Amino acid sequence: MEEFRHEGFVVDRKYVDALPYVGAGAEVTFDELDGFIAATLADLGAEKGDPFFVLYHEALAPGERAFVEVCRPSSAQDATGELPAGEVVYTTAQGDQSEFPRIAHAYDALTLWAQDHGREVASPAREAYAVDGSLEISKPLREPD
């Protein structure tokens, strides 16, 4: 299969297992996002270097508010939610690719990949932060008809 690229982002798909998590969400502005992530991770007991991810239930852009949820993987016993198993379309951002406005191209790339392959993306969009500073951006794929 030919590699799919858009604005420097390489897109692929994969199957992910279900993932229980603890999380907290709120409606925030673009400018409040970084502070909300840091405060919520502290509230969730996450330590520096622990894996975490953010669920974007709505698109977040400057000047707008959207509901986001900050999460860390958890055991099923104390989970407040669970990402379902299934196919996702994803790309990785590094360095300035993970900064606005460039990161918006990553989201566009996921949607364009889905359109190009006769698929539809679902919500919420996910950003998983890695210890090495990279960021995996993914969207679940709807089951084909």
Segment 121-131, tens digit of pLDDT: 999 999 999 87
Q: Are 9 and 91 in contact (CB under 8 A)?
A: yes
Domain boundary among 83, 98, 120: 83
pLDDT at 1 over 70: no
Q: Are 127 and 99 in contact (CB under 8 A)?
A: no
Domain that holds residue 100: 1-18+85-145
pLDDT band at 135 (very low <50, low <70, confident <90, very high): very high
Q: Which amino acid is at 116?
A: D
- Mean pLDDT of all residues in the chain? 93
d(C-alpha 123, C-alpha 110), whole Å: 12
pLDDT over 90 percentage in the chain: 78
Give kind and range of the element (H or E) at residue 74: none
Domain boundary among 33, 61, 83: 83
The total number of structural domains in the chain stands at 2
Give kind and range of the element (H or E) at residue 15: strand 9-16
d(C-alpha 99, C-alpha 101), whole Å: 6
Domain boundary among 83, 104, 130: 83
Shared-domain flag, residues 89 and 145: yes
The string of pLDDT tens digits covering residues 8-36 is: 999 999 999 999 999 999 999 999 999 99
Shared-domain flag, residues 102 and 144: yes
